[in-house]
C-alpha cells in the first residue's frame, strides 16, 4: 500500500509540473494566436459594452483552441511518466483523449462555420463515440442502502442504458457550460471553479481509500483535470473583465467534454452533476427556449444601460437574467464574481451532501 501511495504521488507531482509548464506556454501563445485569428476575421463584438467605445473593438474569438492544443500535448506526453499505468488504463486514457480531441475539432468547426443550434446540441454525442466504443468498465450502479429493500438488489446492471447515460452526460456537460455564458470571464470561470472542486474531491478520495483500483480511477481524473485547470487559468487571465479574448465554443465544449470524461472514467458522475448545479438550473430555465416553445434569439444576454453602466435582467430564460431580476442590476464584472461565488457555494454544498450521505453506499 505504501509503495502504491508513493507511485501515485510521483505521477501526480510530475503531472503538476507539466501542467505548470502548460500554464506558461498558454499565456505566451494566446497573444500570438489572437493575431492569427483576427487576420482570418475570427472575432466578436463585446455585446454587453454596446454604446461605449469598448463595444466597437474587435475581440479575437476561439482562443480555446490554444488551450485545447496545449492540453492535448500535455496529456499525451504524460503517459510516459505514469508509473501506475497498466494496459487497460492506457486504452481508456487514449480513448478519452480521442473523444476530447474530436470535441475540440467539432467546437472549432462550430466557431468557424456557425453551425445551427439543433446540430450543435448533438455534436458531443459523436465526439463521445471513441470513449463509448472502447469502454470496458462496469455498467452497474450501486443501489443506496435505504433503497435496497425496495429494489431487491445491491447492484443493478444497466447494460447499454449505462452507455446511453454516458453519451447524454457528455451532451449535457458540454452544452450546459456553453449556454451559461455571455459575461466576460463566466465560461472559463465556471470551469476553473468546477475543475478545482473535482481536484479536491479526487485527492480526498485517494486519501480515504486503500483500494488500488478506486485510487487509480481518481488518479486518472487528476491527470486530466490538473492540465485543464492550469491551461484554463491562463485563458482566464485574458478572458476576465474586460475581455481581451473570447474563448469560443471550441473552449466550452472542450472543457465540458473533459469534465464529462473524468466523471465517467473516475466513476463519480453523480458527484459531478452536483458540482454542475448552477448549470442544471440554467438548463431548466432555458428549456422553453431551447426546445422551441418560446422564440430563442441568437443571444440571450441581459440589457446593458450605457447611462448607469449596469446590466438589467431580461425575460430570456437564463440563470444570468434570473439572478439580475432577483438581486437587481449589477455591473458585468460584479455579476460574474457573484455567479462564480454561487458556483463555489454549489460545490461546497456537494461536499456537505456527500459527507451526509456517506453511509448510504458503504
Ligand atoms: C450561447 C448562448 C447565447 C449567448 C452566447 C454568449 C444559448 C442558447 N446560447 O450561444 O445566448 O449569448 O452563448 O457566449 O443560451 N460574447 C460577449 N461577451 C462575452 C462572451 C461572448 O459579448 O463575455 C458574445 C460575443 O459577440 C462573442 C459571442 O458572444 O463573439 C460568442 O457567442 P457563441 O459562444 O458563439 O454563442 P453560443 O455558444 O452559440
Ligand atoms: Mg458559446
Q: Which residue has a Cα nearest atom 27 of ligand 1?
A: 44
The pLDDT value recorded for residue 199 is 97
pLDDT at residue 7, rounded to an integer:
84
pLDDT at position 137, please? 80
Can you list the pairs that 97-100 forms with residues at least 24 positions away whose Cβ atoms lie under 8 Å? 97/72, 98/130, 98/131, 99/127, 99/128, 99/129, 99/130, 99/131, 99/170, 99/257, 99/261, 100/68, 100/71, 100/72, 100/75, 100/127, 100/254, 100/257, 100/258, 100/261
Q: Which ligand is nearest to the CA of 296?
A: 1
Closest ligand 1 atom to 299 CA: 12
How confident is the model at residue 31, as a pLDDT? 98
The ligand whose atoms approach the alpha carbon of 118 most closely is 1
Does residue 101 have a pLDDT over 80? yes
Is 157 a residue whose pLDDT tops 60?
Answer: yes
On the question of pLDDT at 1 being above 80, the answer is no
Among protein residues, the one with the nearest Cα to ligand 1's atom 32 is: 248
* Positive/negative CA dihedral, 42, 306, 244, 71: negative
* Least confident window among 140-149, 278-287, 330-339: 140-149
Per-residue pLDDT averaged across 221-250, rounded? 98
- The H or E element containing residue 17 is helix 2-39
Q: Which residue has the higher pLDDT, 85 or 16?
A: 16
Q: How confident is the model at residue 223 (pLDDT cuts 50, 70, 90)?
A: very high
Q: How far apart are the first and last CA of the chain?
A: 21
Q: Does the pLDDT value for residue 151 go beyond 90?
A: no
3 state DSSP class of 130: helix
Counting every residue, how long is the chain?
Answer: 362
Higher-pLDDT residue of 261 and 211 is: 261
**pLDDT recorded at residue 146:** 86
> Who lines ligand 1 at CB under 6 A?
44-48, 61, 178-179, 181-184, 243, 246, 249, 299-301
C-alpha cell at 177: 457550460
180-185 mean pLDDT: 98
Q: Considering only CA atoms, which residue is closest to atom 14 of ligand 1?
A: 182
pLDDT band at 87, cuts 50/70/90?
confident
Q: What is the pLDDT of residues 31-50, one digit of tens each?
A: 999 999 999 999 999 999 99
Identify which of 12, 10, 71 has the alpha carbon closest to the alpha carbon of residue 230. Answer: 71
What would the pLDDT profile of 318-329 be if each residue is shown by its tens digit? 999 999 999 999
Among the listed ranges 62-66, 238-242, 355-359, which one has the minimum average pLDDT value? Answer: 355-359
Atom of ligand 1 nearest to the CA of 117: 39
pLDDT of 99 higher than 70: yes
In this prediction the pTM is 0.96
Shortest-distance atom of ligand 1 to CA 290: 8
d(CA 312, CA 306): 11
For 244-293, the pLDDT digits (tens) are 999 999 999 999 999 999 999 999 999 999 999 999 999 999 999 999 89
- Asked whether residue 147 carries a pLDDT value surpassing 90, the answer given is no
Contact 268, 13 (CB under 8 A): no
Amino acid at each position: 500500500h505504501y509503495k502504491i501511495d508513493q507511485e501515485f504521488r510521483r505521477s501526480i507531482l510530475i503531472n503538476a509540473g507539466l501542467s505548470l509548464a502548460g500554464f506558461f506556454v498558454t499565456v505566451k501563445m494566446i497573444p500570438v494566436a489572437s493575431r492569427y485569428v483576427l487576420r482570418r476575421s475570427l472575432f466578436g463584438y463585446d455585446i454587453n459594452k454596446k454604446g461605449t467605445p469598448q463595444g466597437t473593438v474587435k475581440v479575437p474569438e476561439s482562443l480555446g483552441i490554444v488551450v485545447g492544443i496545449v492540453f492535448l500535448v500535455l496529456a499525451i506526453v504524460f503517459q510516459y511518466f505514469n508509473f501506475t499505468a497498466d494496459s487497460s488504463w492506457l486504452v481508456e486514457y487514449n480513448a478519452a483523449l480521442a473523444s476530447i480531441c474530436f470535441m475540440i475539432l467539432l467546437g472549432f468547426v462550430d466557431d468557424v462555420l456557425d453551425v445551427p443550434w439543433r446540430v450543435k446540441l448533438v455534436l458531443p454525442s459523436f465526439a463521445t463515440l471513441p470513449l463509448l466504443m472502447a469502454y470496458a468498465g462496469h455498467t452497474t450502479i450501486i443501489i443506496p442502502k435505504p433503497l435496497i429493500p425496495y429494489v431487491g438488489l445491491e447492484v443493478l446492471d444497466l447494460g447499454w442504458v449505462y452507455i446511453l447515460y454516458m453519451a447524454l452526460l457528455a451532451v449535457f456537460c458540454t452544452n450546459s457550460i456553453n449556454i451559461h455564458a455571455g459575461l466576460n470571464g463566466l465560461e472559463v470561470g465556471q470551469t476553473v471553479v468546477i475543475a478545482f472542486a473535482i481536484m479536491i474531491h479526487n485527492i480526498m478520495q485517494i486519501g480515504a481509500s486503500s483500494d488500488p483500483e478506486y485510487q487509480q480511477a481518481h488518479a486518472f481524473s487528476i491527470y486530466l483535470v490538473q492540465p485543464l485547470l492550469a491551461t484554463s487559468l491562463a485563458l482566464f487571465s485574458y478572458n476576465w473583465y474586460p475581455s481581451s479574448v473570447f474563448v469560443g465554443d471550441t473552449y466550452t465544449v472542450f472543457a465540458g467534454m473533459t469534465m464529462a470524461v473524468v466523471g465517467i472514467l473516475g466513476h463519480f458522475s453523480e458527484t459531478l452533476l452536483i458540482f454542475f448545479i448552477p448549470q442544471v438550473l440554467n438548463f431548466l430555465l432555458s428549456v422553453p427556449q431551447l426546445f422551441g416553445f418560446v422564440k430563442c434569439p441568437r443571444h440571450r444576454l441581459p440589457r446593458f444601460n450605457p447611462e448607469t453602466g449596469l446590466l438589467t435582467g431580461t425575460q430570456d430564460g437564463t440563470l444570468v437574467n434570473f439572478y439580475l431580476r432577483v438581486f437587481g442590476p449589477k455591473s458585468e464584472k460584479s455579476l460574474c464574481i457573484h455567479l462564480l461565488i454561487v458556483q463555489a457555494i454549489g460545490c461546497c454544498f456537494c461536499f456537505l451532501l456527500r459527507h451526509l450521505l456517506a453511509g448510504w453506499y458503504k
